Structure 1
């Protein structure tokens, strides 16, 4: 019987050598296909010093994907849709094998010369990460999203925009069902548009999160529902012909009575700078402070402070190399000094950890519709003693090929 790995390698070579006929990036309907191989020396993020599940830490996997991409403009209306189905198979932890789904449809609408916007919906089914979930059981995350926004440019230099988004998250693992939630976020924005193509605006946004299941922590059952009000400035500044600075930052007030006093407020947001000098290099850097959900069995969110830096080298017209590094510190107790049910949680430093991730990827595009890429990633986490989580490191490599027909 033929070796399935040899068949996959042969298919990978065929995709790399594919020569799509009569199809290009501007075509309305295209078939897409990809094949990827990956290996991780600590797939389930087992803490240092702990034995791996089945006394095994590393694992390899193959992912095969096929789908359709549609993108067509009708007058001033543009319709874009993606339907991708994938299948991932692991060598050792076969209980993790899963079928992935990625479906999305968007309508980019325009009415006259002053009104435009976007409406769409999406569905995604993937294997959730194991960064904060110590288990060897399969945990699929299903995300359903719907969104709509529109802007009205009522003056040459001014526009107003309104939007609404609804996201629903569901987890297959019984131990993760407490992270099931629905988030709804209406917002309104007023922007000033400068002649230099720079913009400055004010955004008001409210996020409501609803968790259908109470979270058991020690002797307590916690309700993780929250309301988050934001008032932020949005800035896009073309500082020079080669530098762009983008920012969305301001005041956030979050009410979530599951821990401590239940309310916290302060400065949150993100600032990103892009430098693209005349040549083959592009540089990026960012800094942020914001609330983020957590896929954990103990807590539902953290207050994160992070920085990132990256570089892209366009070595040739067909070869691109990307390098990125991200460092993030996570505070699990953003309000008060105690967390019910967690011994030692009154110790401020015991409820913090950090994540550091470095990636390197090279992409070769022998033809406009064919890409072959290879990547390496290193991830490390420091532990949070009060939460019973330990430090870990992980190194992974991936090799993939994709084509459009």
Structure 2
């Protein structure tokens, strides 16, 4: 499994909106994996009572916090198997229109392609590329201006089956993020990662691997400060164990955790290290309800005008109820504490923390084999930090969407 940077995770209700209307699911998900070319379309309605994540003690933009927006989406899904090679691609175009804050209206793009390859009986791997253009979150950015974020990603991965139970894998990934607003350009960055893994998989079906990884982050624009200009460039080295343990017939424990050392010269002492990773437990009993829980301690970028990354410690719970052959209900809750590293020591710099709480509930109804209706609710709250100058807020969102795959 190749490197997936923490930068793919964003604590924002706009990201939860995407989760709530994710498509396809249930029967449509099976159809999407069929060979050939499929067309998809979607229409959605969302109401958010604190769209721009304005703190409780701050005046709202244009005298209001809430807004409603509509989403139209069209795309194509391609799945082709040629011999032992598999090609998969998805292209989606979306148009998002807001009722009040219409300066945020935008056209989104989501283009993804992957090639899963095999050569003989011992060599396999994949190559992937991705381009996403969407509205960046406002969780840590105080503005009512449109701020589109472009994400580009390329991945290559190759494995050698040295023995029926042993595999050697190498991989590389490149992620690039750029932002529309001049005030956010300091968060433009490129992250390059290389890794190697030795994996052991016995006949039991469980597996354990040792992963060595190096991540290099480059920020082209230097962030201004009272002492001059500072760089957010970093280098991170990791040595982690990857575990996939079939604990029982219904329980699986997955983990990618170990030691990480992050060197970022412009921050505090210039380096920090310690335990880093994520552990997930998945329980799928014979009934209609399944569960999962996760714990993590990870470095993650933050889209803030003054800070580039945080050290996050969090936990989450998820549950899925298959109410019938056509109805599924998903629920989730998460808590994440974010620790910031001060560039210089000042009064209160030993307590630079805040917390994000989130929860969501959605119901998916497979009306027909090609038609799906989704209804959902999501909640997000930030504790805020007086030292950082960020305030407390909460936000609620409701959503309804209809999806078509044909």
The TM-score normalised by the length of structure 1 is 0.91
Quote the offset at 1:25 in angstroms.
4.6
* 1:170-227 deviation per Cα after TM superposition (whole angstroms, max 9, x unaligned): 0001110000000000100000001111000000000000000001133431100000
| Counterparts of 2:397 and 2:54, CA distance in 1 | 14
Quote the offset at 1:343 in angstroms.
5.5
Residue in 1 that maps onto 2:387: 386
Quote the offset at 1:384 in angstroms.
1.4
Pick the aligned partner of 1:33 from 41, 58, 77: 41
Residue in 2 that maps onto 1:306: 314
Structure 1 vs Structure 2 CA RMSD: 1.3
Residue in 2 that maps onto 1:236: 244
Quote the offset at 1:27 in angstroms.
3.6
SS state at 2:268 partner: coil
Residue in 1 that maps onto 2:222: 214
* 1:274-314 deviation per Cα after TM superposition (whole angstroms, max 9, x unaligned): 00110100000000001000000010000000000010000
Pick the aligned partner of 1:295 from 300, 303, 309: 303
| Counterparts of 2:225 and 2:359, CA distance in 1 | 33
Residue in 2 that maps onto 1:326: 334
Q: Kindly name which structure, 1 or 2, has the bigger radius of gyration based on alpha carbons.
A: 1
* 1:212-247 deviation per Cα after TM superposition (whole angstroms, max 9, x unaligned): 000113343110000000000000000000000000
Counterparts of 1:161-200 in structure 2 under 5 Å?
A: 161-200=169-208
- Contact 1:272–1:285 (CA<8 Å) still a contact in 2? yes
Residue in 2 that maps onto 1:357: 358
| Counterparts of 1:328 and 1:24, CA distance in 2 | 33
- Does 2:400 correspond to 1:399? yes
| Counterparts of 1:190 and 1:201, CA distance in 2 | 5
| Counterparts of 2:225 and 2:385, CA distance in 1 | 16
- State which drifts further: 108-117 or 203-212: 108-117
- State which drifts further: 368-377 or 165-174: 368-377
Residue in 1 that maps onto 2:367: 366
| Counterparts of 2:35 and 2:253, CA distance in 1 | 33
Quote the offset at 1:386 in angstroms.
1.7
SS state at 2:367 partner: strand
| Counterparts of 1:183 and 1:243, CA distance in 2 | 34
SS state at 1:387 partner: coil
- Contact 1:25–1:369 (CA<8 Å) still a contact in 2? no
- Does 2:71 correspond to 1:63? yes
- Does 2:98 correspond to 1:94? no
SS state at 1:258 partner: coil
- Contact 1:96–1:137 (CA<8 Å) still a contact in 2? yes
Counterparts of 1:253-272 in structure 2 under 5 Å?
A: 253-272=261-280
SS state at 1:176 partner: helix
Pick the aligned partner of 1:104 from 112, 132, 136: 112
The TM-score normalised by the length of structure 2 is 0.91
- Does 2:364 correspond to 1:344? no
SS state at 1:78 partner: strand
Structure 2, unaligned runs of 5 or more: 1-27
Structure 1, unaligned runs of 5 or more: 1-19
Query: Aligned pair count?
Result: 377
| Counterparts of 1:204 and 1:25, CA distance in 2 | 33
Quote the offset at 1:24 in angstroms.
6.8
Quote the offset at 1:273 in angstroms.
0.2
- State which drifts further: 46-55 or 210-219: 210-219
- Contact 1:149–1:164 (CA<8 Å) still a contact in 2? yes
SS state at 1:54 partner: helix
- Contact 2:317–2:333 (CA<8 Å) still a contact in 1? yes
